Amino acid sequence: MKKNRKKTLSVFLLAMMNVAIILSLRGLPLMAKTERSLIFYLVFALIIFLIPTALVSAELASGWPEEGGVFRWVSEAFGEKTGFTAIWLQWVQNIFWYPTVLAFAAGALAYLFLAPELAMNPLYNIAVILIIYWGSTLVNLRGMKASGFLTSFGVLLGTILPGVFIIGLGIFWWLSGESLSLDLSTPFIPDFGDLSNLTFLAGIILLFAGMEVNAVHVLDVKNPRKSFPRAIFLSVFIIFILFFLGSLSVALVVPEEQISLTAGIMQAFDHFLKLFHMEWLLPVLGLLVAFGTIGGVAAWIVGPSKGIFATSKQGMIPPFLAHSNKKGVPSNILILQGIVVTIISLIYLVEPTVSSAFFLLTDLTVILYLIMYILLFTAAIRLRYKHPEVKRVYQVPGGNFGMWLVAGIGILGASFAIFVGFFPPAQLPFKHPEFFVGFLGFGVTMSLLLPQFICGMRKPSWKRKAKEIENAK
């Protein structure tokens, strides 16, 4: 580790960075559909998933700061083959995520076009998904400076501003005594006897994924043993409040059975603005929400791709994927990724509604991501015993028992979410539940088998050719 690394982050700044990477408006309609049970789902996701992920990732990042990342951490514990599986899952889950988050953008843009009914049209959604995705890919191929500009303005104008606005409108609606669409007779704790009522838990957990990305900043705070947990709990509190108030605002004005998972936030804005005779503002908000989503996608398109691209140095992927353009962007991986995203987007033509297709892809995304997190938690436990000599600037408190407790909670929470994720949710129309389960089973099986197949094809020449490509630049 570099001893002269400057401690530049305060507890508050690190907490805000965590909030920025987690907070997203796309999850508000999903949580609003759970009605009064949303408090249970939020608390469960925070305690069982978000906090363990943040603490465990911080220890791994502080122990292996120079080469950090999921591939390195899992490889240190279980070898390169398992490490490659972990980084593969982190990459491939994003491929299924893009058609969901961009469908959310399509729902917002429908209100910009003053045609809300388009949000329910599969062909419209597919067209918007592909136009935005390939446009964002072209921006990323021009280098990180271009995508960074889009991302920064997207977060500010398309996430924070509309998020604060909808919470303010929701509070005013509540205080004004207007009629409420929220069914106050629904239970706070869902019925565990019917697992179809718990399926939304998987989708909600996905909203809290990604905290491991900021774990590398554990070395940038003073007194990390105390400061890092404080930053975590501060960010958890802020995330809880914003998600709770935002989803509650949607639930107050849109009946549960009418909430669209892709356009729910715009439905809520529509109700609010009609009360205040400000309908003219709806297209503007549609543009801002879509812009925020596009900015987020621009940030994610190249990030996970670079993770899988980095394994080329160890000869883990075929040489044709080891190519990057003059800007250092893994161009061949991005193009391959775009082709797969295009094919996956056709699922919107198969499912009976846009919301059901949206959730199906969301469910597969979170299951793949949670398998990666199980490998991450298991690796953290393993490394406590395999490499006790490695100095960790930050350690999960409580010694080995503390690590078993925190990582164990994460493993159990992720495993439970994966299990219930295979049950079609009662709140959405799935004409063929067997297709729901079969699609998830096939997607998970192929996503786990492909990295094993690639590793089985691995040749010594891959590493040599990757090095030749790098030296030729």
**d(Cα 288, Cα 154) in Å, to the nearest integer?**
8
Q: pTM for this one?
A: 0.85
Look up residue 221 and give its DSSP letter.
Answer: B
Take residue 135 and report the two structure tokens written for it. 């446009």
Instruction: List domains and CATH numbers for the chain.
Output: 11-471 (1.20.1740.10)
- pLDDT at residue 409, rounded to an integer: 95
pLDDT (tens digit, 9 = 90+) per residue, 220-238? 778 777 787 888 888 888 8
Q: Answer for the pair 463, 315: CB distance below 8 angstroms, yes or no.
A: yes
Stretches in the chain below the pLDDT threshold 50: 1-3
Phi, psi of 221 (to 5 degrees): -115, 150
pLDDT (tens digit, 9 = 90+) per residue, 71-97? 889 999 999 899 999 989 988 988 998
- The DSSP string of 390-446 is S--SS--SSHHHHHHHHHHHHHHHHHHHHHHTTSPPTTS--S-HHHHHHHHHHHHHH
Phi, psi of 9 (to 5 degrees): -105, 135
- pLDDT at residue 408, rounded to an integer: 96
The single residue listed with the structure tokens 């076009």 is 113
CA 268-360-290 angle, 5° bins:
40
Q: Answer for the pair 366, 447: CB distance below 8 angstroms, yes or no.
A: no
Take residue 380 and report the two structure tokens written for it. 């953290």
9 three-class SS: strand
Query: Number of H helices and number of E strands within the chain?
Result: 18, 0
- pLDDT at residue 2, rounded to an integer: 45
- pLDDT at residue 1, rounded to an integer: 43
pLDDT (tens digit, 9 = 90+) per residue, 438-473? 999 999 999 999 999 998 888 888 877 777 766 665
Counting residues of the chain whose pLDDT is more than 90, the rounded percentage is: 28
**d(Cα 253, Cα 368) in Å, to the nearest integer?**
34
